[in-house]
Amino acid sequence: MRFFFRSRQFKIIVAVFTAVVLFTAIFGWVGTRMAPQADLAGMISAPFQALAAKISDDVSDFVSAYQDGNQLLLENARLQSELNDLREQLADYQSTLSENEFLRNYLGIKENNPSLTMTPATRIAKDSEDMYSGFIINRGSLAGITANSPVITEAGLVGYITEVGLTTAKVTTVLSPELTAGALDNRTADSGILSGTSALAENGCCKFYNLSRNCNIAIGDYVITSGEGIFPGGLMVGTIEQIGSDDYNTSIFATVRPFVDFQKIRNVMVVTGFAGQGGLDPNGED
């Protein structure tokens, strides 16, 4: 609005208003000095007086509207500020709810493994050079993350940490041949080894092998970690989809579909400690 008062239109209005006021004043003064012609002067000046009054009223209305407009702008600014504050409070509230839900999902794992200590992390990037769904998380050595730390979600085992930086770390998944872990059939307790292969990884699966010929595993059984090596026992891995035997027909293996959807992972927990931690290297070395 302030630019209107500097505009050419506003200047014209002021000039016309000033001229009308002066012209009216002159005729009023003449009328008082020329009594016989007072009626004539009044008749002549009357339209100009009316016009002056009209312009004065319009200007007054305009100024009032301008002042009201300023008040509305100030009120809108105040309301917008309050709205922004409410939005920030809502975002904080939703973030707290999400975090609580995230932690609540791990209560079952914690109850079954009370010695576990865990650090939350978020996937921030895929590892483009890893064909086994490896990814990068936003926690590193500054957060107490170390190599060989198991990584889980509420659904089960994801993999383990293979590379650590100050603020990031690389996660290698159960789909990778780099990972080997002791595992059990949750129903029969038949034991074997869990690892990945390039062929199975293409279908999002891993291998449960070195099972006894006399084992009683069945399709649909759950596979869990046995607690040997770097992984705590009792972590859910996946469901047996297929069963076969090795080339020499001396042992049984099974194809396992992990409970974790590696393409949809967002938040994870890094297991930083548990009772009995240690043992075999995940790569199968002592």
Q: Where are the chain's structural domains?
A: 4-101, 116-273
Q: Mean pLDDT over residues 253-264, rounded? A: 95
Query: Rounded to an integer, what distance in angstroms lies between the CA atom of residue 256 and that of residue 48?
Result: 98
Q: Is the dihedral of CA 24, 30, 32, 37 positive or negative?
A: negative
Residue 239: is its pLDDT beyond 80? Answer: yes
Do 225 and 201 contact (CB within 8 A), yes or no?
A: no
Residue 206: is its pLDDT beyond 90? Answer: yes
Confidence of residue 95 (pLDDT cuts 50, 70, 90): very low
Q: Which of 228, 231, 225 is nearest to 273 (CA)?
A: 231
Percent of the chain with pLDDT over 90: 47
Weakest-pLDDT range from 68-82, 110-124, 224-238: 68-82
Residue 91: is its pLDDT beyond 80? Answer: no
The one-letter amino acid at 120: P
Q: What is the pLDDT of residue 34?
A: 47
Crossing angle between the packed helical segments 8-33 and 38-104, to the nearest 10 degrees: 150
Q: Mean pLDDT over residues 183-197, rounded? A: 96
Residue 121: is its pLDDT beyond 90? Answer: yes
Q: Mean pLDDT over residues 25-41, rounded? A: 52
Residue 98: is its pLDDT beyond 60? Answer: no
Mean residue pLDDT of the chain comes to 79
Query: Rounded to an integer, what distance in angstroms lies between the CA atom of residue 42 and that of residue 49?
Result: 10
**Range 116-273 classified under CATH 1.20.120.10:** no
Could you tell me which residue, 271 or 2, shows the higher pLDDT? Answer: 271
Residue 81: is its pLDDT beyond 70? Answer: yes
